[in-house]
Amino acid sequence: MSGGTNDRARAMLEKGLLDTVEDFLMKRLIALFLVTASIAALSACNTMAGAGEDVSAGGHALTNSAEKAK
């Protein structure tokens, strides 16, 4: 651990906010996981929205072709 992280963990232990340094590290790991999962979910939503627009545009093109072929 770096000095800054160690100092923060020690301060939280002294205040009674944590039982052990392992609790501190576990909370940081969980926070990192949640941030990573949120970023992945948001990028997936954006990708699905783009795919939906592409499918919609393809449907409109097919409809227009069918109208012209009548």
- For residue range 36-46, what is the model confidence (pLDDT) as tens digits? 998 888 887 77
pTM for this entry: 0.48
Report whether 24 contacts 18 (CB < 8 A).
yes
Report whether 13 contacts 21 (CB < 8 A).
yes
Q: Which two three-digit tokens encode residue 10?
A: 């020690």
Alpha carbon separation from 4 to 11, 40, 45, 48, 55 (Å, rounded): 11, 29, 36, 40, 51
Residue 2 pLDDT > 60: no
What pLDDT, on the 0 to 100 scale, is given for residue 13?
Answer: 74
Q: Which two three-digit tokens encode residue 66?
A: 């069918």
